[in-house]
Chains A and B, each alone.
Chain A
Amino acid sequence: MAEFWHGYLLPLLITIGEILCVVVPLLVAIAYYTYAERKVLAYSQLRKGPNVVGPLGLLQPIADAIKMLFKETIVPSSANRVLFIAAPIVSTALALVAWAVIPFDTGVVISNINVGILYLFAISSLGVYGIIIAGWASNSRYAFLGALRSAAQMVSYEVSIGFVLVTVLLCAGSLNLTDIVMAQRTVWFFIPLFPMFVVFFISGLAETNRAPFDLPEGESEIVAGFHVEYSAMTWLLFFMAEYGNMILVSAMTTILFLGGWLAPFNIEPFSGFLGHVWALLWLLGKILFVMFCILWVRATFPRFRYDQLMRLGWKVFLPLSLFWLVLTAGVLVATGWVPSH
């Protein structure tokens, strides 16, 4: 019995505890990201935003969640029932499982796998399925159009994201996310790889279907796109997936380009427990900054036209990232800076 306890049950409980430590704050962050979005958009447009429910409107996300929970989930009679319900679940689950490999400090990570960055890339490339399945299972023209747009868009931008990731890998010499952060002790990667940083951020917007690339939703022409038939919890799950993905992209940008939890110039005034808090604060600060930039972009830019979106992905970002990949490899080899482990 004792062997069973130490061999299986205890590790299992510890892992579940770790998962809860990541997922619960993440869910709260998702809820308050919607609030932040409404506030940022409101102030950008000289409005006040939500300010009625609770002080400063801070209880608004909770009120929204309760409203969603108590609404009725309507499944259209001609929809494919199983897939219709499965699609939002797949979307949200994918947005959450990616956090398994995100490191919060040296060694503070649920699963420190060797191919962490590939795992993130794999999970983010699966996000498209939730949307396609939703669009198809709804059995609605609008939803289907939204799904097709989304599929084409996400596949297109994934290509340049892939090249950006390879460029970062070349500079870090590892596929492990902790190693990638530690490789930025000398210089954060957004300085030498600035064009790739920009490409990654914009592709990230396209990958999460955010403004100005939110064509899959395109209210003005296809109502709400892939989730037009969804209501209540199923709709809420789609939005949790979207906001979760936005936070994930912010975290990825931070880890790959902004030095993760490293403070500028490696300032480490504390050690021990306070040192971990310091690192975590830097990580969260950077993630919050990128998250704000996403909202800022939404408040600033009009939506792209579809052909412009495709042109940007295939004719601008793809050649640029390919060129920069070859250039980076060339410079690393020529100067002998290829990282070796």
Chain B
Amino acid sequence: MSNVLELVRTSQLKTGLPEINPGDTVRVHVRIVEGSKERVQVFEGTVIRTRKSGVDQSVTVRRLSGQIGVERTFLVNSPRIDKFDVVRRGDVRRAALYYLRKRTGKSARIKEKRTPQLASKA
């Protein structure tokens, strides 16, 4: 009977999502409704955490806006999210990069992951 539950869950999943891992730099295209108008805003930053899989999958993206760190958590399957672009793959050893919160500048850099596939792309 629980396949009914799965049906409800899977019916909401998006397809064709890129693989997103902590350390990656992503551009999140967010649909924003202002009155009757709708526009797409891009939020670019480093993925510091990914959570769960399935309907409630989320990613937390951190960026520096001027001197101020801004973190936004996006529900991956939300209809408000237009798409994700992975700009850069990061090579990190942790699942959650909270240490970045205390760092700025040079110490907050993340190594780029070198894979043959991506190298050809870039």
Task: State yes or no: do A and B come from one complex.
Answer: no
* B residues in contact (CB < 8 Å) with A: none
* A residues in contact (CB < 8 Å) with B: none
